[in-house]
Amino acid sequence: MTTTAFHATVTRHRLGIGLLLCALIAVTAGGCHSHSAGLAHQMDRAPGPDWSQPTYARGVVAADHRIGSQAGLDMLRQGGNAVDAAVAAAFCQAVVRPYSCGLGGGGFMVVYLNRNPLGRPVSAALIYRERTPSAVGPEYYVSLGIPDASTIGPDAVGIPGTVAGLLETLDRYGTLDRGIVLQPAIAAARDGFAIDDHYVGACERVIEKLEQHPEWRQRLGEPGFRFLWERFLFSGHPTVGDTLKQPELARTLEMIEKYGASGFYAGPVAAAIIEACPQMTQQDLAAFEVESKQPLKANRLGYRFLAMPLPSSGGVAMLETLRILEHYESVVDHAPGPADPGYAHLLTEAMKHAFADRARWLADDQYASVPLGHLLDNDRVDRLAERFDPARTLDSQDYGSSQITADVIEDAGTSHLSVVDRWGNAAACTETINLEFGSLLCVPEFGLVLNNEMDDFVTDPGQPNAFGLVQSDRNLPEPGKRPLSSMSPTIVLDDAGHVVAVAGASGGPRIISGTLQVLLNGLLFRMSPNQAVAAPRIHHQWLPNTLWFENRWKQGSSDSYDPLIRDLRDRGHAVDWRPDIGNVQLILRAPDGTYGAASDPRKGGEPAGW
């Protein structure tokens, strides 16, 4: 199939998006954007379950917590751009989602500045993923011989990058003063907030693990353990509505406000991090650098995708999957929605190819040779696509190397937010501390929870990591190296350079499949932002050889999912169920230039618009 032919196919889908989005009633936090009665009448005729209305405005923020969205909105109200809003929201997310992200973690941001007060159009991918301490090499964890050393305690911690990344992004592309941007986070830490269902669920899973592993307490140290247990876990009895106040973190943020990055990477904060993590040095912290690259750019489905480059695996995997979908116009064009068996089978097979390539080839390309041009070469991906058998799935070796069985674990250690401002600029920001509450290691005097990002490396060659991902020796740890990531912040443009979608997710490797499917729901299947985010999803990461369905598939009538499950089993897929596949925050553009924003109900976020 040619790209030109597929452009014609997608044009038909685009018309549905515009009509549906124009029909949505505005529900904004901090401002009212009204529509005519005629448009409201069109909404009555829109297909599909309009279960909720998105925030719909000129400038919108979709984070996985309402306080984060509101912080971004405050910056837009004060005349800030998308980057100002993203940085303010990200610092706030570090306060209100301490089990997902924080100052002790790292992240990625894709920025697109089209029309803005700064001048010429800009696209950039900011990489502030954690780096490996200088004392850690390829054999470090094998030689330690300590179970869970790469996930629990000081040896699991990579050099944090969040503070450096957010401040440098603000300096390069923002318009507001650092003090203004940090104020919402400082206030949230100082004054506190009520914890929600998602927070309580994360606490309960960590409490259960601590009860199963009493030996972890010694590894975490008594002061740090008590701070984790009493402050963040509410002494083992978290309840929705409990107030979490973090005065220590507020003081740390105030130091960053006053001194910039040196308020974190030097002085008392740095000394306390080094004391908690003996394998880390002052030089490690002082040498941390933010990397700026061009996003991966590719035309797919009639749109221009700006995806995250290495060491994110998400951009490569998504672009490869989308190219395989393009190859089969007839399957995609005739699918009425994501529950169509032929489409679901094609999407699964495409994801398996992408994840097999991830396992074999991907790593930090500053430290390992990665044939990126070859992996994304259209002819090469088309040859993969031609292996597709519409009647059955293939054997595992047809996608990659020999199979290793592994479980896919629960994860909440990542947070994503999407922003579009009044000028049509956009930012997609994904940050993480890896697993829930990261390494569980705290720095009490400064309110920090430190990441366990080192487990994203190959720490035990030949074995899967905590997410069940098998990876090549290209992803072995080395001093200064960044681990491979699944974080996939993505911005989608039309032919005129206007932002049409911004998306990203949390959820380990399910970030990739979740972000991809939500974008497809909006761009191909004419869904509103909330419908696109709420629709049930699937996930396959090649190994383990399991096709995962969200429990949400069971919430409809049996007629809505039983035929699909039976069909895919008949084609050879091993099917299982899980609670969620990613937590996605989405923005979609309407033809009149306004934007619809939706926060994923799986994590309880709430968008804001102005």
Kindly report, residue by residue over 476-507, the tens digit of the pLDDT. Answer: 999 999 999 999 999 999 999 999 999 999 99
End-to-end CA distance of the chain: 42
| Assigned token pair, 262 | 């040196």
From 9, 132, 169, 414, the catalytic residue = 414
Helix (H) / strand (E) element for 595: namely: strand 595-599
Question: Which tops the pLDDT comparison, 410 or 526?
Answer: 526
pLDDT band at 469 (very low <50, low <70, confident <90, very high): low
Are 228 and 437 in contact by the 8 Å Cβ rule? The answer is yes
Residue 398: how many other CB atoms lie within 10 Å: 13
Q: Is 414 a catalytic residue?
A: yes
Rounded CA-CA distance 153/451 in Å is: 9
Kindly report, residue by residue over 213-225, the tens digit of the pLDDT. Answer: 999 999 999 999 9
Residue for token pair 């040498």: 287
Q: Which of 506, 609, 503, 605 is nearest to 66 (CA)?
A: 605
pLDDT band at 41 (very low <50, low <70, confident <90, very high): very low
Percent with pLDDT over 70 in the chain: 86
Residue 461 has pLDDT above 50, yes or no: yes
Alpha-carbon distances, residue 393 vs 63, 353, 553, 570, 573 (angstroms): 37, 12, 21, 10, 6
Residue 498: how many other CB atoms lie within 10 Å: 14
Q: Which phi-psi region, left, alpha or beta, contains residue 260 (left: φ > 0; alpha: ψ -120 to 50)?
A: left
Mean pLDDT score across all residues of the chain: 88
pLDDT at 600: 97
pLDDT at 560: 59
Rounded CA-CA distance 62/417 in Å is: 6
Kindly report, residue by residue over 251-299, the tens digit of the pLDDT. Answer: 999 999 999 999 999 999 999 999 999 999 999 999 999 999 999 999 9
Residue 119: how many other CB atoms lie within 10 Å: 7
Rounded CA-CA distance 84/87 in Å is: 5
Q: pTM of the full predicted structure? A: 0.90
pLDDT at 35: 25
Burial class from Cβ neighbours inside 10 Å (0-12, 13-18, 19+) for residue 366 reads middle
* pLDDT, mean of residues 24-45: 27
Residue 47 has pLDDT above 50, yes or no: no
> Please, what sign has the CA dihedral across residues 121, 176, 604, 579?
positive
Q: Which of 247, 227, 255, 241 is nearest to 167 (CA)?
A: 255
Kindly report, residue by residue over 363-392, the tens digit of the pLDDT. Answer: 999 999 999 999 999 999 999 999 999 999
pLDDT band at 117 (very low <50, low <70, confident <90, very high): low
Torsion angles phi and psi, residue 366, rounded to 5: -80, -20
* pLDDT, mean of residues 68-89: 97
Are 321 and 351 in contact by the 8 Å Cβ rule? The answer is yes
Rounded CA-CA distance 528/504 in Å is: 17
Are 539 and 581 in contact by the 8 Å Cβ rule? The answer is yes
pLDDT at 147: 87
pLDDT at 42: 23
Residue 210 has pLDDT above 70, yes or no: yes
- Pick from 6-20, 105-119, 554-568, 577-591: least confident: 6-20
Residue 57 has pLDDT above 90, yes or no: no
Burial class from Cβ neighbours inside 10 Å (0-12, 13-18, 19+) for residue 200 reads middle
pLDDT band at 472 (very low <50, low <70, confident <90, very high): confident
pLDDT at 386: 93
247-259 and 82-96 helices cross at what angle (nearest 10)? 150
Residue for token pair 């390309």: 365
Kindly report, residue by residue over 400-432, the tens digit of the pLDDT. Answer: 333 333 444 444 579 999 999 999 999 999 999
pLDDT at 590: 82
Q: Which of 158, 170, 47, 251 is nearest to 478 (CA)?
A: 158
